[in-house]
Amino acid sequence: MLTIDDIRAVPLFSTLPDSELDHLAQTAADLHLGAGEFAVHEGGERALYAVLTGKLEVVKMFDGVERTLGWRLPGTIFGEVPLALSSPFPGGYRAAEPSRVMRVDAQRYYAVTAVSPEVATKMGALARERLGGLQGLAAEPPKPRVTMVGSRWDDACTGLRQFLARNQISYDWMTPDAPELTARWPGSRPTEKDCPALRLVDGTLLSRPATRELAELLGLQTKPRFAGYDTMIIGAGPAGLAAAVYGASEGLSTVVVEREAPGGQAGTSSRIENYLGFPSGVSGDELASRALHQAKRLGAEILVTRSVARIDVESRCVHLDGGDVIQVRTLILATGVTWRRLAIDGFDRFIGKGIYYGAARSEASATHGLDVHLIGGGNSAGQAALHFANHARVVTLVIRGDSLEKSMSRYLIEQLAGKPNVVVKLRSEVVAAYGDIHLTSIDIADRESETVSRHECGGLFVFIGADAETEWLPAEIACDKRGYVLTGDDVVKAGRWSCSRDPYLLESSVPGVFACGDVRLSPVKRVASAVGEGSMAIAFAHKYLQHDAR
């Protein structure tokens, strides 16, 4: 319980009248923190905090690595910057030893400043000082965690760049003939056979590393810590990350297996405009990053560069590539879908060499000043077109249909119309691709005029829909003819349910195995619905563990 003397010991409040000190003692929160506990996390709700006893460390994540920015000792305050800017906390405050902290919510703080304007004056001065410190941090030249040398048209280089970008690892990439290579790559130049060559921030040199090797050297988790878990989630898209957050927060030992990077298809979206709670929109990788940090903070394990080799339904054992076997009590399938491929002359040999399935945001800067083409008329294609329009000379959307309105949201159509370098070709399709070592041009057929024209092309990005890849699932898990996992009533209608109770809404034909997100048979394919289903899957997993688990 806070006392007047506790609060008066904080210099900021020392001149307040006893009546106001007493009011604060009755309304402020009295936080008792053990070593390692947070008073507030990065991104937390604005409020004013004062350290009464102990010591707090100020930490912030930079490029996936935690950095200590400073310390707060008894008598000092924090929260002045969020209050001054009406913004979330730019960093987290963690107890370095057992500590006691006072928390004054924003509304109560403004009531104090109304009575004692000198408090607001002191807070303003402190906020300016600490904003100056933050500006100093922002002015520091960023040091990439990876420096890479490799050809843009090398499949291995493209794969590593996409892996780093998707996992939000900062990297500096140069081609072998880049004039700045000598200055930015100490020592002898990498030879062609060495490329892609990588130098890590600690000086480690790598030549054509496997993705998993690189992940482990960068501190990403690739191996499970335990032999068994309450729940395993396969796939780390929005549905899988939501399940991880809710599973870990509700006390289930939770592990997520992801073959590439968290975020799924949504993670490649340049801007999601209609996700609840983000009035200015949010990029897919930012949404994935927030969810990933949240899941990890709550205790979920996220394994990257791992895929499932097979599932033994009877023993509830999941076999990963590489030989790891994990015992699970419940299983949640959140594998999403993969982009549908086009069967067009010349396409296969240019994949990764100018032709990409999906947004490939890491390729956007490489298209600067070029003419690029996108195939597809859905929201994903619209978002990508807006993103590439900031780099490319001209962005052309090639669409088989006669109207964007049939497949794209109105807000995207309006934004595309406002971009002078975005062109929409209706009733058209790409019929051929040309080039030597990489894509240089494409043929586009105009189905209305029945003509074919050739166009220079600095990059072709394909968004023609997606399919579920579930051939690897055991036969016991029922799917429809297109590979989507049946759940709930659909399992019963298919005659694949043998348990005495009814299946839960998201439960597959195998009790205790659930499906959520795009991999589940459902007419709704949205980020928001995937997140909702991920959280619901955990609720049903809880029910199963309480009543059905052996």
Q: Kindly tell me the burial class for residue 406, based on how many C-beta atoms sit within 10 Å of its own C-beta (0-12, 13-18, 19 or more).
A: exposed
pLDDT tens track for 351-364: 888 898 876 566 77
pLDDT (0 to 100) of residue 141: 54
Q: Kindly tell me the burial class for residue 9, based on how many C-beta atoms sit within 10 Å of its own C-beta (0-12, 13-18, 19 or more).
A: middle
Checking if the pLDDT of 69 tops 50, the result is yes
Q: And the tokens for 180?
A: 């700045």
pLDDT (0 to 100) of residue 550: 59
Which DSSP letter does residue 417 get? Answer: H
Compute the average pLDDT of residues 303-323: 95
411 within a domain of the structure (yes/no): yes
Domain identity same for 475 and 330? yes
Residue type (1 letter), 438: H
| Rounded-to-integer distance, Cα 160 and Cα 22, Å | 60
Cα dihedral sign, 40-170-220-251: positive
pLDDT tens track for 112-154: 888 888 888 888 888 777 776 555 544 455 578 899 999 988 8
DSSP secondary structure string, 431-468? EEEEESSSEEEEEEEETTTTEEEEEE-SEEEE-S-EE-
CA atoms within 13 A on the CB side of 157: 22
| Rounded-to-integer distance, Cα 55 and Cα 100, Å | 9
Question: Higher pLDDT residue, 396 or 85?
Answer: 396
Question: Given 465, 492, 523, which residue is the final one in a domain?
Answer: 465
223 within a domain of the structure (yes/no): no
405 within a domain of the structure (yes/no): yes
Compute the average pLDDT of residues 20-30: 89
Find, among 355, 401, 340, 357, the residue nearest to 413 by Cα: 401
Q: Provide the angle, in degrees to the nearest 10, between the axes of the packed helices 284-297 and 238-249.
A: 20
Domain identity same for 461 and 476? no
222 within a domain of the structure (yes/no): no
| Sequence-separated (6 or more) residues with CB below 8 Å from residue 148 | 157, 160, 161, 164, 171, 172, 173, 174, 196, 197, 198, 199
Task: Look at the chain and report how many structural domains it folds into.
Answer: 4
344 within a domain of the structure (yes/no): no
Note the pTM of the prediction, 2 decimals. Answer: 0.80
CATH of the domain at 498: 3.50.50.60
342 within a domain of the structure (yes/no): no
Q: What angle do CA 157, 319, 168 make, to 5 degrees?
A: 35
Domain identity same for 107 and 54? yes
| Sequence-separated (6 or more) residues with CB below 8 Å from residue 496 | 478, 486, 509
CB 76 within 8 A of CB 12: no
Checking if the pLDDT of 414 tops 60, the result is yes
Where are any strands of DSSP class E within 4-121? 29-33, 38-40, 47-53, 56-62, 65-72, 77-78, 92-95, 99-105
pLDDT (0 to 100) of residue 362: 65
Domain identity same for 399 and 333? no
CB 242 within 8 A of CB 526: no
pLDDT (0 to 100) of residue 483: 94
Domain identity same for 203 and 232? no
Compute the average pLDDT of residues 236-253: 95
DSSP, collapsed to helix, strand or coil, labels residue 226 as: coil
99 within a domain of the structure (yes/no): yes
CATH of the domain at 89: 2.60.120.10
pLDDT (0 to 100) of residue 364: 74
Domain identity same for 195 and 271? no
Q: And the tokens for 150?
A: 């490799």
pLDDT (0 to 100) of residue 137: 46
pLDDT (0 to 100) of residue 318: 97
CATH of the domain at 173: 3.40.30.10
φ and ψ at 24, to 5 degrees?
Answer: -65, -40
Cβ burial 492-526 (10 Å sphere, 16+ → b, else e): eeeebbeeeeebbebbbbbbbbbbbbbbbbbeebb
Compute the average pLDDT of residues 441-449: 93
| Sequence-separated (6 or more) residues with CB below 8 Å from residue 131 | 81, 84
| C-alpha gyration radius of the chain | 27
276 within a domain of the structure (yes/no): yes
The alpha-helical segments, DSSP class H, found in 86-237 are: 106-115, 117-139, 155-166, 181-184, 211-217
Question: Higher pLDDT residue, 411 or 241?
Answer: 241
Question: Higher pLDDT residue, 257 or 141?
Answer: 257
CB 377 within 8 A of CB 466: no
Domain identity same for 240 and 210? no
| Rounded-to-integer distance, Cα 197 and Cα 57, Å | 37
| Rounded-to-integer distance, Cα 358 and Cα 404, Å | 19
Checking if the pLDDT of 46 tops 50, the result is yes
CB 163 within 8 A of CB 216: no
- In the predicted model, what is the mean pLDDT of the chain? 89
Domain identity same for 33 and 98? yes
Question: Higher pLDDT residue, 44 or 231?
Answer: 231
Domain identity same for 63 and 91? yes
**DSSP β-ladder status, 92-95 and 301-303:** unpaired
**Residue 426 structural domain:** 350-465
- Which residues partner with 419 through β-bridges? none
Checking if the pLDDT of 103 tops 60, the result is yes
Domain identity same for 193 and 54? no
pLDDT (0 to 100) of residue 227: 96
| Rounded-to-integer distance, Cα 374 and Cα 61, Å | 35
Residue type (1 letter), 416: L
| Rounded-to-integer distance, Cα 27 and Cα 119, Å | 18
Question: Given 191, 217, 243, which residue is the final one in a domain?
Answer: 217
pLDDT confidence band for 492 (50 / 70 / 90): very high
Residue with tokens 């895929």: 307
pLDDT (0 to 100) of residue 133: 56
Residue 506 to residues 329, 467, 535, Cα–Cα distance (Å): 16, 19, 11
Residue 488 CB neighbours (<10 A): 21
Question: Given 102, 120, 139, which residue is the final one in a domain?
Answer: 139
pLDDT tens track for 520-547: 999 887 888 999 999 999 999 999 999 8
Domain identity same for 425 and 536? no
Domain identity same for 102 and 20? yes
Question: Higher pLDDT residue, 352 or 281?
Answer: 352
Compute the average pLDDT of residues 272-290: 78
φ and ψ at 407, to 5 degrees?
Answer: -135, -10
